[in-house]
Amino acid sequence: MSDIYATRGYGSRTLGFGRKPGLVVVDFQRGFVDPAFPMGGAPLVDAAVEATVPLIAAAKAAGLPVIACVMSYDSPRAAPHWKVAPVLDLLAGTPSVELDPRIAAAGPDVLLMKSAPSIFFATPAAAILTRERVDTVIVAGCITSGCVRASVIDAFSLGFRVMVARDCVGDHDAVAHEQNLKDVERRYADVIDSGAAITEIAASRGRNARD
C-alpha cells in the first residue's frame, strides 16, 4: 500500500545532526514510570528509561547539556484544563514528581518543572540550549503521543534540528507510540535509535573540542 503522505512530499528528506547536539529528557518521573501510580507501569516507558541512561552518560561524557523535566503543580488550580485526571495529582513535593531513580542517578545537568506538555513551554529550556550553542535537540522521555510529541513540535518551531531516539521514548500503547513516531518523522524530526545518537554525540565531541 502506498503512503499517501509520501506521495505528497512528506518525509522527503532527512535532517541530520548539526554541529552540536543537546539532550532533553521529558517526564521520566515516578508518576509516569512507577507502577505504583495510575499512569505508571507501561513496559514501553520502562524500556525507554533503561535505554536513556547510557544516552545521558554519553552526552555528559561529551560535555553536552542534558536537560530533564517533570510535570508538577503547586495545586490543581495551577494546572491547565487536562482531560487526564491523574495529572492533577502531580503535586510539587510528592513522590509522583520525583525523577525515576535511574534517571536521577544518571545526573542530568538541569531539572525543570513544567506545567504544560512541552519541555519548552514557559521554561528556560530553549534559552539554556541556545546559550550552549546547541543546534540539534535529541528527545527522550514519555509519553510519545503526548508530552514527547509536544516537545518535538516546539523544538522544531524554535528552529532546532530534532532527533527522536526511538528506543528512548515510550507510551502506554504500542500503536499510539508507533503512529506518533511515524508522524513526527514525516514532518518535524529524524527518528533514530540510541546507538546512532551516541555515535553522533561522540563525533560532536571532537568537533566542539576544536572550537
Q: Among residues 69, 142, 147, 168, which one is catalytic?
A: 147
Q: What is the Cα–Cα distance from 119 to 26, expressed in whole angstroms?
A: 7
Beta-carbon contacts of 147 under 8 Å, excluding residues fewer than 6 positions away, are: 26, 27, 71, 117, 118, 119, 141
142 is catalytic: no
Rounded Cα distance between 168 and 13, Å, is 23
* β pairing state of 161-170 and 110-114: unpaired
Domain architecture of the chain: domains with CATH: 21-209 (3.40.50.850)
The predicted pLDDT at position 72 comes to 98
Q: Write the pLDDT tens digit of every residue in 67-123.
A: 999 999 999 999 999 999 999 999 999 999 999 999 999 999 999 999 999 999 999
pLDDT 10s digits, 139-183: 999 999 999 999 999 999 999 999 999 999 999 999 999 999 999
Sole residue written with cell 499512569: 39
What pTM does this model have?
Answer: 0.97
Q: What is the pLDDT at residue 2? A: 72
| d(C-alpha 169, C-alpha 202), whole Å | 21
Which pLDDT score, from 0 to 100, does residue 211 have? 55
Q: Tell me the pLDDT tens digit for each residue of 29-68.
A: 999 999 999 999 999 999 999 999 999 999 999 999 999 9
Reduced to 3 DSSP states, what percent helix, strand and coil does the chain have, rounded to the nearest 5? Answer: 45, 20, 35
Q: In this predicted structure, what is the pLDDT of residue 1? A: 60
* In the predicted structure, residue 208 carries a pLDDT above the cut 90: no
DSSP 164-202: EEEEEEE-S-HHHHHHHHHHHHHHT-EEE-HHHHHHHHH
Which pLDDT belongs to residue 125? 99
Of all helices (H) and strands (E), which one includes residue 116?
Answer: none
**Can you give the pLDDT at residue 19?**
96
